[in-house]
Chains A and B, each alone.
Chain A
Amino acid sequence: MSEADTKAASPPEEAKDERVRQISPLRKALVRPELGSICGVILVFVFFFLIARDSGMFSPEGIQNWTVVSAQFAIIAVGACLLMIAGEFDLSVGSMIGFSGIIIAMMSVTYEQPMWLSIIVAFAIAMGIGWLNGFLVIRTGLPSFIVTLAFLYILRGLTIFLARVTTNKTIIGGVRDAAEGDWLAAIFGGKILTGFFQWLADNGLIDKFVAGNRAGEPVVDGVPMLVVWAIGLIIFGHILLTRTRFGNWIFASGGDAQAARYSGVPVNRVKILMFMFTAFCATVFATCQVMEFGSAAADRGVLKEFEAIISVVIGGALLTGGYGSVIGAALGALIFGVVQQGLFFAGVESSLFRVFLGVILLLAVILNTYIRRSITGER
């Protein structure tokens, strides 16, 4: 007891293990999940500013172009991020996008149901499938990789089957007419701040179209709802993960499910809810896309599951779960969007995008491994 007293009374410096190196504030600031993606964002912007400055990439239209693409990546990345931190994968995201889109178009156009009902049904079915994914993973104890890979094929096949059986086509058009004046469709398809952009254009801050049937309108006429959804989901995901009890349970479930269970964390519920949230994000993506294009196609969303996972990994999450950041995943999505569109602006062969993806994925994983070792003290 006396030993403990003197220990407690002595200044903390003496109690420290002399073999533990002091960690500099700089290194501490660096060892965080977002490090890789922050570096990546800076690098990518500097790079494209140097090679594509004159191409219109940084004009209002150009900015809108890559913002929308990045926002698409971000929407699915938020879901994939929280699920990966909870220790699971979902490879069925891409197929889910195609599936939800076809459900919406089929119900609203082919069966002439109200658009709001079609959207709600699509969300309900998608989240039901997300629940089933989670339930099967929990119940069978199989890796989510296998279970959701099965659903990648099941859903894609069902999507094409449904479209063919009901319409004989794999593309269902006419959604824009069906969505006309629908309150729920506006939340996914419209634009906000249109007045503000008109004002900017009137004051000469952004250009107006000079010819064509949109002459006089600003070249950028508002912020697409897709971008609003992306920002909303990023903020929601970030606060949920870092500030709430449920967020702590997400970390715990992915970090060590058994230890979390011993501490009273409802691991199964957390994981199943995250599968459902991933499905929700995929359906948001699908709905926005269907509203924007005015049609649904059975092949939409191919490879999106991997793009989501790559964004999340660039954002610093560990593939093994228990560690990661929603902000990082969002920055990963931004890198994605900027590079994909930037190569187009710079006039570079677009197939190089895939090469870039592979390289940056490797670099990100190597960096993440280093960060994990720094945190856990492994060698």
Chain B
Amino acid sequence: MTTPLIELKNIEKHFGSVIALNGVSVSVYPGECHCLLGDNGAGKSTFIKTMAGVHQPTKGEIFMDGQQVVFHTARDAIEAGIATVYQDLAMIPLMSVTRNFWMGREPLRRLGPLKFIDFDKANRVTMEEMDRMGIHLREPDQAVGTLSGGERQTVAIARSVYFGAKILILDEPTSALGVRQTSNVLATIDKVRKKGIGVVFISHNVRHALAVGDRFTVLNRGQTLGTAKRGEIEAEELQDMMAGGKELAQLEGSLGGTV
């Protein structure tokens, strides 16, 4: 097997007396979609923030391409090729798609001693990249606010991919979306995966995870309950592991199906 793009071993994170993560191990291979499942409070957010350099682990090691790395800041992780798309903080609605796409990395054109944004290039690349993701913009200067939630996620994903992300962390990208938009985002994840990028997909929706995931890791109360490959595990099993008990199984029985 190839070396994982990123491998986190026995990550522990304590906030004062609270143990948020108690030995979590996850690895992501190129072209793989690794789903991180867990109920609210399971430690998903803490874990991905550790991966993204926002939090520093109390214990544990991180390896990228087999080399041990330490992220002191989010900037370090971004430079190492780890891009994070946060659910509601991906885009600025009042700004145009182009301005959002290039935010923080605007292409420049020199005019004497002055530097201006190269809007020709910025608009062209934005249109091309959005087309590639299957979103046809009316024009690159339309405000992001006119896009649907799924399209906004896609702009954020396209941006990360364009700027050379090796690992893409998606924090609950589908939780606020409708059925159609969810499918679009899942299709986008599939396209990104085919480019050889490792995707970390955080969700508490088992069906969304099963639709695109190659491997599944379930977190419960700050611990890994194991990693399973696609086809080795059923939706009900994942659901039970997330909830951590038999109660939900009984509840499901009375509700008539997987929640």
Chain A residues, Cβ within 8 Å of B134: 4, 7-8
Asked if residues A262 and B84 are in contact (CB atoms below 8 Å), the reply is yes
Q: Does A149 reach chain B (CB closer than 8 Å)?
A: no
Q: List 14 A-B contacts (CB under 8 A).
A: A1-B190, A7-B134, A239-B116, A244-B116, A247-B117, A248-B95, A252-B92, A262-B74, A264-B75, A264-B104, A318-B94, A322-B95, A375-B93, A376-B146
Q: Does A15 reach chain B (CB closer than 8 Å)?
A: yes
Once bound together, how far apart are the Cα atoms of A252 and B117, in whole Å?
15
Asked if residues A244 and B95 are in contact (CB atoms below 8 Å), the reply is no
**Most chain A CB atoms below 10 A, which of B92, B99, B131, B145:** B92
Once bound together, how far apart are the Cα atoms of A12 and B131, in whole Å?
10
Q: Interface residue count for A (Cβ, 8 Å)?
A: 35
Q: Does A217 reach chain B (CB closer than 8 Å)?
A: no
Chain A residues, Cβ within 8 Å of B146: 375-377
Asked if residues A377 and B145 are in contact (CB atoms below 8 Å), the reply is yes
Determine how close the nearest CB of chain B comes to the CB of A242; give it in whole angstroms. Answer: 9
Q: Given A259-B90, A259-B92, do A244 and B103 touch, yes or no (CB 8 Å)? A: no
Once bound together, how far apart are the Cα atoms of A247 and B117, in whole Å?
9
Chain A residues, Cβ within 8 Å of B103: 248-249, 252, 260, 263, 265
Chain A: residues with CB nearer than 8 A to chain B? 1, 3-4, 7-8, 12, 15-16, 23, 239, 243-245, 247-249, 251-252, 255-256, 258-260, 262-265, 318, 322-323, 372, 375-378
Chain B: residues with CB nearer than 8 A to chain A? 74-75, 78, 84, 86, 89-95, 99, 102-106, 108, 115-117, 131-132, 134, 136, 138, 143, 145-146, 187, 190-191, 194
Determine how close the nearest CB of chain A comes to the CB of B93; give it in whole angstroms. Answer: 5
Chain A residues, Cβ within 8 Å of B86: 259, 262
Taking CB as reference atom, which chain A residue is nearest B114?
Answer: A244
Determine how close the nearest CB of chain B comes to the CB of A321; give it in whole angstroms. Answer: 9
Partner of A3, one of B84, B104, B145, B187: B187
Chain A residues, Cβ within 8 Å of B191: 1, 4
Chain B residues, Cβ within 8 Å of A1: 190-191, 194
Once bound together, how far apart are the Cα atoms of A240 and B253, in whole Å?
62
Q: Given A248-B117, A264-B75, A375-B146, do A12 and B92 touch, yes or no (CB 8 Å)? A: no
Which 7 pairs of residues, A with B, have the shortest CB-CB distance? Answer: A376-B145, A255-B92, A264-B104, A263-B104, A245-B106, A263-B103, A259-B89
**Most chain A CB atoms below 10 A, which of B105, B134, B136:** B136
Taking CB as reference atom, which chain A residue is nearest B145?
Answer: A376
Partner of B94, one of A245, A264, A372: A372
Determine how close the nearest CB of chain B comes to the CB of A365; give it in whole angstroms. Answer: 16
Asked if residues B187 and A248 are in contact (CB atoms below 8 Å), the reply is no
Chain A residues, Cβ within 8 Å of B78: 264
Taking CB as reference atom, which chain B residue is nearest A15?
Answer: B136
Determine how close the nearest CB of chain A comes to the CB of B107; give it in whole angstroms. Answer: 9
Q: Given A248-B102, A251-B99, do A8 and B131 touch, yes or no (CB 8 Å)? A: yes
Chain B residues, Cβ within 8 Å of A239: 116
Asked if residues B143 and A376 are in contact (CB atoms below 8 Å), the reply is yes
Chain B residues, Cβ within 8 Å of A265: 103-104
Partner of A256, one of B89, B131, B143, B187: B89
Asked if residues A245 and B145 are in contact (CB atoms below 8 Å), the reply is no
**Most chain A CB atoms below 10 A, which of B92, B94, B105, B194:** B94
Once bound together, how far apart are the Cα atoms of A3 and B184, in whole Å?
11
Taking CB as reference atom, which chain B residue is nearest A10?
Answer: B136
Chain A residues, Cβ within 8 Å of B104: 249, 252, 260, 263-265
Asked if residues B116 and A375 are in contact (CB atoms below 8 Å), the reply is no
**Most chain B CB atoms below 10 A, which of A23, A244, A262, A265:** A262
Asked if residues A255 and B94 are in contact (CB atoms below 8 Å), the reply is yes
Chain A residues, Cβ within 8 Å of B102: 248
Determine how close the nearest CB of chain A comes to the CB of B239; give it in whole angstroms. Answer: 29
Once bound together, how far apart are the Cα atoms of A153 and B104, in whole Å?
37
Determine how close the nearest CB of chain B comes to the CB of A249; give it in whole angstroms. Answer: 8
Q: Given A375-B146, A377-B146, do A245 and B93 touch, yes or no (CB 8 Å)? A: no
